[in-house]
Amino acid sequence: MKEQLATIRTEALAAFASAGTAGDLDALRVKYLGKKGELTAVLKQMGKLTPEERPAMGALANEVRSALEGALEAASEKLEAAALAQRLRDEAVDVTIPGKAVALGHRHPMYIALDEIKDIFIGMGFTVLDGPEVELASYNFDKLNAEEGHPSRDWSDTFYFDEDSRVMLRSQTSPMQVRAMDTMPLPIRIVAPGRVYRKDEVDATHSPMFHQVEGMVIDRHITMADLKGTLNAMVEQLYGKGTKTRFRPHHFPFTEPSCEMDVQCHKCGGAGCPTCKGEGWIELLGAGMIHPHVLEMAGIDPEVWSGWAFGIGLERTAMRRFKIADLRLIFENDMRFLEQF
Ligand code: PHE
């Protein structure tokens, strides 16, 4: 029995020391120290010993057990340390490898143009207003002097929500003129950008949804000269100092007199080319002096107050600003297009 214990000790210690993995080591623990292990098997023979022999053998068996347990513990710690060292080697970070660049987004070209327009007008003391896209026909038409029967109210041009044509998607940002007159104290200086909707087929220059920026000033002694001066200042900041403009007579129900403003073609400088369709000029916006009746309907005395307003198409402004040929590119969100700005 003594020899058996000695053999177990020698064999087990050697086996523990050479175990390659935690799994191997656990199998060895079961083999030598488990309930059906070799050491237990020897201890079961204790009964065969004489009472005199038992204490010495018991002590020896205990000593072998604790030697085995100690060796097992040490071998396990050694394996863990080796595994940790291996992991540290495997997972080491090479700080000299170049990092991955983070792709930053940026503003859409139309919003770049809008931000420029806002900056220009904020710099002149204007307030930026936001308003509803679902609008009452009374604001989009009646209070802007476009009475029942006016061609722009036609069902073929406008998106209505109800049979009696009272609620609609606004077809222009001009209702913001009325909303400003309703809610703001005089004098008023506002710009109001936003989406507008018309029943147009999509092509290179049309979309059923597009953006306008409305501008309006009401004060004492406001004249057409103020309108021209302000719009010229805007154009010079948008398209460069010395950019020429021209004002042509036009008609809008809510302004009198009304005009359209053209800018000299940036491509040919006025000589005439395909971009300006041979005209030398490109139409930019509609404007005019606010009709006295529109002021009266808003409760403003046209003998004391006068004002001007304009409405500019944002897509067209961006297309001209960035030389974009097709309106659809603005809305398609093709990254290859957007990344150019
Ligand atoms: N609302 C007009 C349009 O959509 C533009 C405009 C605005 C004209 C303000 C005059 C004054 O065409």
Per-residue pLDDT of the chain (341 residues; tens, 9 = 90+): 888 888 888 888 888 888 888 888 888 888 888 888 888 888 888 888 888 888 888 888 888 888 888 888 988 888 888 889 888 998 888 889 898 999 888 899 999 999 999 999 999 999 999 999 999 999 999 999 999 999 999 999 999 999 999 999 999 999 999 999 999 999 999 999 999 999 999 988 889 999 999 999 999 999 999 999 999 999 999 989 999 999 999 999 999 999 999 999 877 888 988 878 899 998 999 999 999 999 999 999 999 999 999 999 999 999 888 888 889 999 999 999 999 98
Give yes or no for residue 146 CB within 6 A of ligand 1: no
Give yes or no for residue 110 CB within 6 A of ligand 1: no
Give CA–CA dist 152/252, Å, rounded. Answer: 11
The secondary structure of 209-261, three-state, reads EEEEEEEEEEECCCCHHHHHHHHHHHHHHHHCCCCCEEEEEEEECCEEEEEEE
| pLDDT given at position 17 | 86
Give yes or no for residue 145 CB within 6 A of ligand 1: no
Handedness of CA 138, 141, 147, 151 (dihedral sign): negative
Nearest to 213 by CA among 115, 106, 341: 115
From the CA of 287, give the closest atom in ligand 1: 10
- Collect all residues with Cβ–Cβ distance below 8 Å to 24 and sequence separation of at least 6: none
Give CA–CA dist 209/207, Å, rounded. Answer: 5
Residue 80 CA to chain centroid, in angstroms?
48
How many CB atoms sit inside 10 A of residue 113's CB?
25
Give yes or no for residue 191 CB within 6 A of ligand 1: no
| pLDDT given at position 334 | 93
Among all chains, which residue has been given the structure tokens 């292990």? 37
Give yes or no for residue 194 CB within 6 A of ligand 1: no
| pLDDT given at position 8 | 86
Q: Is 272 left (phi over 0), alpha (psi -120 to 50) or beta?
A: left
Q: What is the DSSP letter of 45?
A: G
Give yes or no for residue 210 CB within 6 A of ligand 1: no
Separation of CA 174 and ligand 1 centre (Å): 6
Separation of CA 2 and ligand 1 centre (Å): 111
- Pair of tokens at residue 57: 């053998």
From the CA of 313, give the closest atom in ligand 1: 4
Give yes or no for residue 140 CB within 6 A of ligand 1: no
Separation of CA 309 and ligand 1 centre (Å): 8
- What Å distances lie between residue 144 and 169, 186, 256, 303, CA to CA? 16, 19, 12, 19
Give CA–CA dist 341/339, Å, rounded. Answer: 6
| pLDDT given at position 165 | 92
